[in-house]
Amino acid sequence: MILYGCAVWAVPFGISLFFFTPSGELKTDVFLFKSIMILSAGSTGAGLMLSHLGRQTSDWSRHGLIAGCAWLLINWGLDFVILLPLSGETLDVYFMRTGMRYLALPVTGWTMGAAMTRTARAAGD
């Protein structure tokens, strides 16, 4: 779960490196960049959450919520240590531009888990 949480942060961060010059300037339109970051983070998070929940045998909603909350804290922590010093943003600007988006992690985990629980109940498991 912890390695997946780090991967949810590392994959979009790695992709983002292709969009900056060595001096730290963005090479493309800021809105295109943000869209790519949202898509890469969302798809990475969803795929890893599906993999994580697939390893569980029951109580998927709880496991999804716990993993989502853990990943939220991991991603905030990595941003505080790596992204904030690079960007020079203040905490309030960071949360408005980036940090709030990570709240999708526990929501995604819980809803995926709820869907898996409903599917198992409908199948009679």
> Where does residue 2 rank: exposed (0-12), middle (13-18), buried (19+ CB within 10 A)?
exposed
Q: What are 10-33's pLDDT values in tens digits?
A: 999 999 999 999 998 999 999 999
- Contacts of 18 by beta carbon, 8 Å cutoff, 6+ apart: none
For residue 125, pLDDT beyond 80: no
The DSSP bridge partners found for residue 20 are: 26
Residues in the chain: 125
Q: What are 56-99's pLDDT values in tens digits?
A: 999 999 999 999 999 999 999 999 999 999 999 999 999 999 99
